Every structure is written in C-alpha cells, then in structure tokens.
Structure 1
C-alpha cells in the first residue's frame, strides 16, 4: 500500500475461543487466539517492492503466475493517490510489486520497499502504540488511510502507526489495523466476522487462493538501509515478534511468517526472496523464469521466489 507516499504528500484475548477443526473451519481464529495468548499483536500482512521494469512487465504478463496464485493487476485509489500494483494473494498474506518509474519521487527507484504488519482484533493497534512508547518511542506517527472504490465516496480503510514521521531512505515499515466500517461496506466484498472484533487478514482477503497452488507467505527477505532498519525493529518488537540480530540485519519470527531484513547500502536495497506454502504438495520441481527472477515450485508443499541482485 502506498500509505507513506500519502503521508509525504500532504491484548491478549479475554476469552478462549472454541474452534471447529473439521474441514479447516475456524483455523485462522484458533491461530490468532493462540498467538495473542503469547503476546503476538501484529502479523505479517503484506510487503511491496519496486523491481526492475523487465521483471515488472514479466510478472504482469505471466500466464504461469495466474495459475500459481490468486493474481491480480489492480489500480487503487486511496488518500488522494492512485497506483497500479501487481498482487499475489494468499489466504492471509500477500505481496505487491511495482516497476521502476511506476511511483512518484524516490519511490520510483529500484529497491524501494515497504512492510505492513497488522492486527487481527480491533483495538490491538492501541496496545502496539503503548508498546512502542514503552520502548522509548515517545511520539509515534499515526495516519488514517481511506479508500475510494471509484464512485467518489471514500471510506476509512485502516489506521497506521510508525516509529517516526521522518522520511525513510528506501524502506517503509508500518503497523496497521483495518476498520470494522470497511468490512461492513458491501463495496469491500469481504467476509463476515468470525469472532467479536474480527479485523483479520483472512477476513480481508478473498478465498480465491483455494483455486490455486499458493497458500501463504511464510518467509520474506528484503535488503534495507541501516537507518530504515532502525525504524522497523521497534514496530516488530512492539507487535510481539521475536527479533534477533544477524550480520547487522534482523530476523523477526512470530505469527507464521519469518521476516528477514538485511542491512545494506541503498543501491543493494530491495526484495531478495519470498517463500510460500502451497495448498497441496507437488511431486516434482518446476522452475519459472520471470524477468530477472526465478520462481521454483516444489517438490513438496512450498515454493521459493528469488530476485536477481541489481546489475
């Protein structure tokens, strides 16, 4: 989501949930309840990155990606801006790709990226904010994003929190919480709530992932400048991720997705690798070259998408 571009331009669960396991019904609620009981307030929602033009065009026109995932090329209007993204959507998680020059200003440059981690229950973003302040972030930056479905009537979409309002160098990390009003609007085409205060990722995303191989993102690796890494770590810790320092970068675990942020120079920034779980196991490995990236699917119930280093 281009929420930071808009900014530039202008607790634990109280009760234990009883979940029906048969057929997978209620699994997301069970996982959210279990994680929240251990202090997990934020979960990987999505990441975006600007890739080279060759790769962006190849992604946009890939017949294989349309079979592999719930894939969409969509133009979105929000917060006074309009952008076109290339989306791969799973059950609870997704990713968004742009090409060089697609976005305004410095965000048009190769390697620009962002990371959104979100709550599963209404009210948890306030707890994240309190955790940030407990880490010494005295004045977190708050912002409310709206969405226009094309009829000129915007509605509240989600609230965000960041460690700072200062300009990032190449990587924008934020925490977010969807509005119940967004889910209630029929234009959002989202699911009914599964439990009180349900603002979950699974509710937000459509169930079309069931018709494809890709299920969810389980690991993502992004190169980020050191200054941006310093603003990301407090958000992840405030959300309950366990953050370890590795080679000057950070690896955050929790909530089903591992997030690895490598500390790099600006010219080395950008998306490096994404690992995805599959809806079913495949017997043989398939490799698909997509621009300057390689998607390797199988064997087993996993796929790995790697992106070439800058030339």
Structure 2
C-alpha cells in the first residue's frame, strides 16, 4: 500500500493528491472485500511494482464461449483462414475430457474460441471464459507458487494436464496452478509446459532456443508467417467480482504490473500483452475484445462473424469485438 502523506499539508494541490490516493485505496480494499466475502483469495490490486524479480508469467492464450451462430460463422469463415494460422480441432485431455475449439495461432500467443456445449459442464456455457499465462523457463513455476503464498494464497490448486494424440496414451502436457477451485464463469491459470511434451515428435514443437526453454514461441509453429495475424497484444474480459479478485494474485505473482482503473477493474501490463478485466454480473460476463498485431500493414477491412466484428487495419493491427450476451 502506498505510504500516506501528512494530512496537514497546507496547499490545495497536496490535499487533492491525498484525496485521490485515499479514494484509490478505498476502491482496492472494496474489491478485495468482495472477493473475501465470496470465498476468494485475499488480493490487492495496488498500482506500482510487482513482486521483486523478473517477469515469470506471460500471456499465453485466452478462450471464450459464444452462441452457436457466432461459433459456426468463425468455424466456416474463409477469411479467417487467410487472416491467421487457423485450426479447428478436438483435443483429448486429462481423464478423457474432450473439447472442440477454433484456434487462431500467432508467433507466441493464440486465441481459442468455443460455441455453447463445445466444452463440457459449466465451462461450456454462454459467457464462460478462461486465460492461461505461462512461464518461459523451466522451474519458474516454483517461484510463482512461492510468490502466490507471499500474496496470501495459502492453498494454490495445482494440477497436471495431459494430452492424448489418439493412441490412448496420455502425454504430460503442462503443469498448472489456479488460485482457487471456486469460480463463477472465468478462470485464469499459470502454466509451465512439460519437457515430455516437447520431446514427443507428434507435438510439432520447435527445438529449444536455450537450456530450459519451455516458452510460447517454441510451443507454437511458424505457420503465422504465412498469414496476417502475428500475436495477441491486448485482451479485455468481463468477469464477476469474485473471478476478478481470484485472478489478481496470479497476475501479480507472475510479475505483471497491475493497476486499478475506473469502474473497479484492473489492467495488467507485461510481456507485450495488456490484459483488462472489468467486473460485471454473471449474465454479462465473457470475452469482449482482442487486439492483435499483424505481420505487415494493410488497408482497413471489416469482417462480420456471427455477432462479432473483426476490424483489420488500417496499419499493422486488428481488433476483434464481441458483444455482451443478450
């Protein structure tokens, strides 16, 4: 928490500075109390520096669940296959769980889009969303866990995700951590890819660029070079107050600069991607906007995809907007 000034300072400017700081602290404390009341970890979205040391977690990917019309329009879009390294695939994970997603793959980051029911259970309902932030160096997850405990997350939820390439034999994929197993519609997790996954030739991953390389660029192929989309540079998600409170400690533990913004939301910056989280009721939750960098500048093009709008250009950027659920 910021150190307070002497309240007896005589100047008007000093009094106004104090007032602004008090209001900011009140807003942060209120957000933390909301999370505590609903069973979340105790958090603090202070402006300022993250925990000491280098950044450990970086935006990896995010997903959103949309209505069937929008999901089908995305899946069958001819334009998206030109715009990005685009894939539609069904994946089998731990315990035989499967999900069918539409993927836009960049150099280091990607986007995962679902229709209602493409993911089993509550995670496949309209407005559900999630986000993974990952390490670049093997072993950094241990430091993330230590930072989480320093931030008051006493019992982080750890698990190992596997992937089945079709032969019925699960391959270790990544280790992950949530701050809690209680959430409404949005879950964020820290993750570190496993060496067994990189060693499996079916993974299609690249050789290590340095000892202990478990990074995003190694995980993704160079297929982005043949398309416009390069990477995700910003993402905006509408989440419930409890889900927001649960996410802040993970971002801070990962080394993001986390700042409060008007409306009780937060913005996390670091590693080339800006993450904005805005508190809303559950019925208004969901992925709202994605900003992307392009491999080269283009003229403006607007593509309607179901209930969403992808605006590409002008220049070397694109913005994909998704409206609030009706």
TM range (shorter): 0.7 to 0.9
Distance of 1:233 and 1:71 partners within structure 2:
31
Aligned residue number for residue 136 of structure 2: 120
Match in the other structure for 1:235: 250
Q: Of residues 45, 62, 66 in structure 1, which corresponds to 2:77?
A: 62
Matched, 1:103 2:119: yes
What's the counterpart of residue 271 of structure 2? 255
1:6 equivalent in structure 2: none
Q: Deviations along 1:125-184, whole A, 9 cap, x unmatched?
A: 100000001111111110011110001111110000111123x10001100000111101
In the alignment, what sits opposite 2:301? 286
1: CA distance, partners of 2:68 / 2:193: 31
Structure 1: how far apart are the matches of 2:189 and 2:204?
25
TM-align CA RMSD: 1.5
Aligned partners of 2:119 and 2:188: how far apart in 1? 17
1:209 and 1:42 map into 2 onto residues whose CA distance is 22
- Whether 1:296 and 2:311 are equivalent positions in the alignment is yes
The one of 288, 296, 300 equivalent to 1:272 is: 288
Post-superposition Cα deviations, 1:197-223, rounded to whole Å, max 9, x if no partner, equal 000000000100000000000000010
Match of 2:241 in 1: 226
- Within the alignment, does 1:210 sit opposite 2:225 as a pair? yes
What SS is found at the alignment partner of 2:319?
strand
Matched, 1:143 2:159: yes
Shift of 1:232: 0.5
TM-score under structure 2 normalisation?
0.82
Shift of 1:100: 1.3
1:43 aligns with 2:58: yes
Q: Aligned residue for 2:9?
A: none
1:164 pairs, out of 176, 180, 195, with: 180
5+ unaligned residues in a row in structure 1: which ranges? 1-36
Q: Deviation of residue 265 (structure 1)?
A: 0.4
1:187 paired residue number: 202
Q: Would you say the 8 A contact 2:173–2:193 is kept in 1?
A: yes
SS across alignment from 1:130: helix
Give the C-alpha shift of residue 38 in structure 1: 5.5
| Deviation of 1:309 (Å) | 2.1
Cα separation, 1, equivalents of 2:122 and 2:228: 35
> Quick one: distance in 2 between partners of 1:165 and 1:110?
20
Consecutive unaligned residues of structure 2, counting only runs of 5 or more, are 1-51
Q: Which structure has more RCO (C-alpha within 8 Å, separation ≥ 6)? A: 2
With structure 1 as the length reference, what TM-score do the two structures score?
Answer: 0.86
Once the two structures are superposed, residues 19-52 of structure 1 have per-residue CA deviations (whole angstroms, 9 ceiling, x without a partner) of xxxxxxxxxxxxxxxxxx9620000000011011
Distance in 1 of aligned mates of 2:63 and 2:166: 23
In structure 1, distance between residues paired with 2:172 and 2:118: 25
Q: Secondary structure at 2:141's aligned position in 1?
A: helix
- Judge conservation of contact 2:85–2:104 (CA < 8 Å) in 1: yes
Kindly indicate whether the alpha-carbon contact (under 8 Å) linking 2:285 and 2:324 is maintained by their aligned counterparts in 1: no
